[in-house]
Structure formats: C-alpha cells, structure tokens
A and B are shown apart, each in its own frame.
Chain A
Amino acid sequence: DTEVTQTPKHLVMGMTNKKSLKCEQHMGHRAMYWYKQKAKKPPELMFVYSYEKLSINESVPSRFSPECPNSSLLNLHLHALQPEDSALYLCASSQLRLVRTKGETEAFFGQGTRLTVV
C-alpha cells in the first residue's frame, strides 16, 4: 500500500469556523509533511513531523495548527482562516533516514484537500 489518504477532498469554511484536515498513511513512514499549493504555483512546505514530533515549522501563522497523534496520522487544525488561505493542502510522507546511513527517499503525496475560505 503506497497510498497517502487525505480527507476531506473539498472543504468550504467561513472565517470564524474551526475545521480539521486529516492525512493517513500505512507505509511505516516516520516523516510526514504538510504543503500548501496555490493555483499554478509549486507546493510550499508548511510543517514537517519526524517520529511524531514537529521538526520544522516554516513560519506558518498560528491559525494553522498541526498535530501528529501517531505514526500513521497527521492532522491540520484550522481556525480563523482568511480568504487568502484558500488553496490545495497536500500531505506527504517518506521514510526518515539519518545522513550517516545515506540515502534520501521519495515523498509520497496525497491527493490533497481543496480548501475554500469564504
């Protein structure tokens, strides 16, 4: 199973709402990622989790709150978003290998959640 599953596929929320995006993988990957992608732009890294701990936060506003409850699940909690936060949110996972053992590996991406903030 090389799938990363994201739910929901589409989400419309108001600026005062609280919602969550969910991501799941069963490949045994210990690194998980959130990316944000605007139309016709490359994916922008938001967060990286390694061994269920937040290892990278790319200066993302606090209205985005990630959570990794276990090695298979990654959530992104959304609160008080702005219309400019409307985008495709991609989750990805990969194996995590230390530099000394060599080898980076590919990242597997989910199909994304298309978020519209109204």
Chain B
Amino acid sequence: QQPVQSPQAVILREGEDAVINCSSSKALYSVHWYRQKHGEAPVFLMILLKGGEQKGHDKISASFNEKKQQSSLYLTASQLSYSGTYFCGTGSSGATNKLIFGTGTLLAVQP
C-alpha cells in the first residue's frame, strides 16, 4: 500500500525551512527519500533503516519513527536547487528491494 505524504505541495522563499511527512498504514522496514526534478530521474537522498534513526547531509535531514510508521524530511535554509518533487519510499524486509513510492510532495523554492 502506498505511503501518504503531506503536504501535497509547498512554496518557499529561499532561506525558509520546510518539513515533508511520510506516513504508512503498514509496518515500515526502512524509508528511502528521493527527489525528482521535472523531466529527470529520481535521485537518491538518504535511507533510514531503523526506528529512531536520523540522518542528514548538508541542510537536508530526516527522521524515522518506527512505532508511528512515519518519517519526516527536513529542509533547512532552502535553496533554489531544492525545488522538485520529493518522494518517500518504503522498503521491504525481503531479500529484494521492493521500493514503493509515496504520493509525493511538490516543493517550489522562489528567489
């Protein structure tokens, strides 16, 4: 079942912060975050493998609450290059990466 993301869309000014949430009705084994710019392939941001894990690089970070079956992506001091559609993806516990993408969040950063 597809994870649900919120908000569906957000518009920011450069330098503002944003939070994107990902919620699943099924138990989450892992959470992947990808960004897709218009007309381009999805690009990997990070994977969180267990509850309570937090990761980040540069000014993008994420958390994973296993009990609530939720993950959040935090974008700090947004830059124009952050614009795109963000997808969370839920991984499977099997031997194969069955990656199911969430509903997506369109982020537009304006000057």
Q: Is there contact, CB below 8 Å, between A98 and B47?
A: no
Q: Is there contact, CB below 8 Å, between B98 and A104?
A: no
Q: Is there contact, CB below 8 Å, between A45 and B99?
A: yes
Main secondary structure of the interface of B (DSSP, over half): loop
Q: Is there contact, CB below 8 Å, between B42 and A109?
A: yes
A→B interface (CB under 8 Å): 4, 31, 33, 40-45, 48, 50, 55-56, 90, 92, 94, 96, 98-99, 102-112
With beta carbons under 8 angstroms apart, the residue of B41, B94, B96, B97 that contacts A112 is B41
- The answer to whether B30 has its CB under 8 Å from any CB of chain A is yes
CB distance from B46 to the nearest CB of A (A): 8
Q: Interface size (B, Cβ < 8 Å)? A: 24
Q: Interface with A: B13-21, B66-74, B75-83, B100-108, which one?
A: B100-108
With beta carbons under 8 angstroms apart, the residue of B93, B96, B104 that contacts A41 is B104
Complex Cα distance, B89 from A45, in Å, reads 11
Q: Is there contact, CB below 8 Å, between A42 and B103?
A: yes
CB distance from A64 to the nearest CB of B (A): 18
Across-interface contacts of B49 in A (CB, < 8 A): 102-104
Q: Is there contact, CB below 8 Å, between A105 and B97?
A: yes
| Chain A: CB-nearest residue to B91 | A104
Q: Is there contact, CB below 8 Å, between A48 and B98?
A: yes
| Chain A: CB-nearest residue to B99 | A107
| Chain B: CB-nearest residue to A43 | B101
Complex Cα distance, B87 from A106, in Å, reads 13
Which of A40, A55, A106 has its CB near the most chain B CB atoms (within 10 A)? A106
| Chain A: CB-nearest residue to B48 | A104
Q: Is there contact, CB below 8 Å, between A55 and B40?
A: no
- The answer to whether B2 has its CB under 8 Å from any CB of chain A is yes
Q: Is there contact, CB below 8 Å, between A50 and B96?
A: yes
Complex Cα distance, B42 from A88, in Å, reads 12
Given contacts A41-B104, A42-B87, contact A98 B41 (CB under 8 A): no
